[in-house]
A and B are shown apart, each in its own frame.
Chain A
Amino acid sequence: MATQQTSAAARVLVAPSVILLFLWMIVPLAMTLYFSSLRYSLLDAENSGFVGLQNYAAFLSDPDFVSALLNTLILVASVLVISVVGGILVALLMDQPVFGLNALRLMVIAPFFVMPTVSALVWKNLLMNPDSGLFAWIARLFGLQPIVWFTNYPMLSVIIVVSWEWLPFASLILLTALQSLDEEQKEAAQLDGAGAFSYFFYIVLPHIARAITVVILIETIFLLSVFAEIYVTTGGGPGVATTNIPFLVYKEALLNFDVGSASAGGIVAVVLANIVAIFLMRIVGRNLEG
């Protein structure tokens, strides 16, 4: 379709974006790979040299890495379950004939626009503080001992905060998908006397299945790199209880100044994210054909 002239022009127009993104991704990534094969500490820059895969061996066999990997998986999986199941429920509720849907939608999506440092600090202090937080007050109303959230259940606390940020996202996307469900199909199911459960499992769920997949994949990409929430609340602690892989790499690089080890950790994070990315790309790619 495109003439030779327009395709040459097209190439010129696309070039800046391609070059910039190439420089942004490939060059630093190559550098990370290179650093990961060096003994390289910022505190002792003189004493650097090639060490092959030693950084990987050290990073992967570090007990902190194992717990960071577990923490990352626990955080991602828990928030996914909470936000997707909760998101489906919220979306189903909002899809009913309710009064004031627009106002409701604004309230539900709002937490998604709150910057991570704010949501983490507001939850940690105003809500979850064991002395003067709102949850402590509610616990005492029922005669219960207030929970010392970030000390006794640090990971659960982080999961709650991050879930609050992502539940709105899942709700909004799933509501959008629900609203595209054909009215006629709904009526046909009702006429056929489908019960609420069979209606949900045979009509609704298949219809929003793709949206659910997209939500899971996109959230996974963001959740694999949760950082600010941990940075301002627990600092990865107590101990390494809330240290996930991004936070561990940050600690190695900017607190311990160990460039080699941090780079090896960075590459591990890249491999993890790419496994998820491959699936997401397939789904989006299929959409592109349509």
Chain B
Amino acid sequence: MAMKQTVGKRVGVTALAWLVAFLIFFPILWTFITSFKSELDAIAMPPKFLFFNWTLENYVEVQSRSNYLKYAYNSIVLSVGANIIGLLIAVPAAWAMAFAPGKRTKDLLMWMLSTKMMPAVGVLVPIYLLFRDLHLLDSLWGIGFVLMLLNLPIIIWMLYTYFKEIPVDILEAARMDGASLFNEIAYVLTPMAVPGIASTMLLAIILSWNEAFWTLNLATSNAAPLTAFIASYSAPEGFFWAKLSAASTLAIAPILILGWFSQKQLVRGLTFGAVK
């Protein structure tokens, strides 16, 4: 009897949980479905849920009319490139702070975190004017540089919390055996740190991919990534929902998949280690 009740309750709770999750996820699913409709089906009333002529024409159209691949290329170059450079700068810093902490290491970490608190609008004007004078507006290098700096504190923090978990004894043993600083990093630390570095990179890519303040304000066409590409659909002409949906699906699919892989690290990265 008691057994039956628990199973019954479990089924009920499961049904409710699936309903809630489905409602939260629904807008994404609806976008995905709409991307395969003709423009007429997309605005049909009552809405067509599954029974319509599935077509790929929107995807073809999005590429041929607004050159999706150029924006996707910019997004990839910006989010991957900027964060590779960010990692190269951050790994030594995080290593030093985790394994050779000084008196001011904690203050330094807090200061780095505090740069993340600075609202972008506080520095929009000078950055915009500097970029204009240095001809960095609408350039991949300029925007990539900004994205790298935006993520640098998060990257250092995440790496720091991962490095902290590596037992110091191992490093000391390596030092005893006469390993140089370089050897210590290359042969002892790196293999143990690879998982942490990988998940840091993943989160950093996600954040850069979706960054939509600087990319909208500093890029106009040549260096514009997918955030700006989608924004260009905000003032459309004629029927455009199916095309908007196709473009949106293409813009979010890669990062959704990456995000699903990294959701566990996400908690840690976004709370600066405060929730694990």
Identify the A interface with B (CB < 8 A): 1-2, 6-7, 9-11, 13-14, 16-18, 20-21, 24-25, 27-29, 31-32, 35, 90, 93-94, 96-100, 104-119, 121-123, 125-127, 131-132, 134, 136-137, 164, 167-169, 172-173, 176-177, 180, 210-211, 214, 218, 221, 224-225, 227-228, 231-233, 245-246, 249-250, 253-254, 259, 262-263, 265-267, 269-270, 272-274, 276-277, 280-281, 283-285, 287-288
Contacts and interface: CB of A to CB of B under 8 A. Distances in A.
Contacts of A136: 45
B128 A254 contact: yes
A17 to B, nearest CB: 4
B198 interface: no
B60 interface: no
B37 to A, nearest CB: 11
A284 B127 CA distance: 29
A214 B271 contact: yes
Interface secondary structure of B, over-half rule:
helix
Given A20-B149, A98-B13, A111 B28 contact: yes
Given A173-B275, A214-B271, 18 more contacts: A17-B93, A20-B152, A28-B122, A29-B123, A97-B10, A99-B10, A104-B21, A109-B266, A113-B255, A113-B259, A132-B43, A164-B24, A176-B267, A176-B275, A180-B276, A228-B212, A249-B121, A277-B114
A96 B215 CA distance: 41
B118 interface: yes
A207 to B, nearest CB: 12
B266 A18 contact: no
A125 B116 CA distance: 33
A114 B17 contact: no
Contacts of B181: 6, 9
A250 B124 CA distance: 8
Contacts of A32: 122-123, 125-126
Contacts, number: 307
Interface string B178-204: 000100000000000000000000000
A233 B46 contact: no
B221 interface: no
A121 B21 contact: no
A253 B21 contact: no
Contacts of B130: 28
A227 B27 contact: no
A245 B121 CA distance: 9
Interface string B222-240: 0000111011011000000
A2 B171 CA distance: 13
Contacts of A111: 24-25, 27-28
B28 A121 contact: no
B38 interface: no
Contacts of A104: 17-18, 21
Interface string B108-134: 111011111111111111111110000
B119 A269 contact: yes
Given A121-B233, A259-B125, A225 B213 contact: yes
B231 A17 contact: no
Contacts of B121: 225, 227, 245-246, 249-250, 265-266, 269
A281 B114 contact: yes
A114 B28 contact: yes
B24 A118 contact: no
A250 B127 CA distance: 13
B89 A115 contact: no
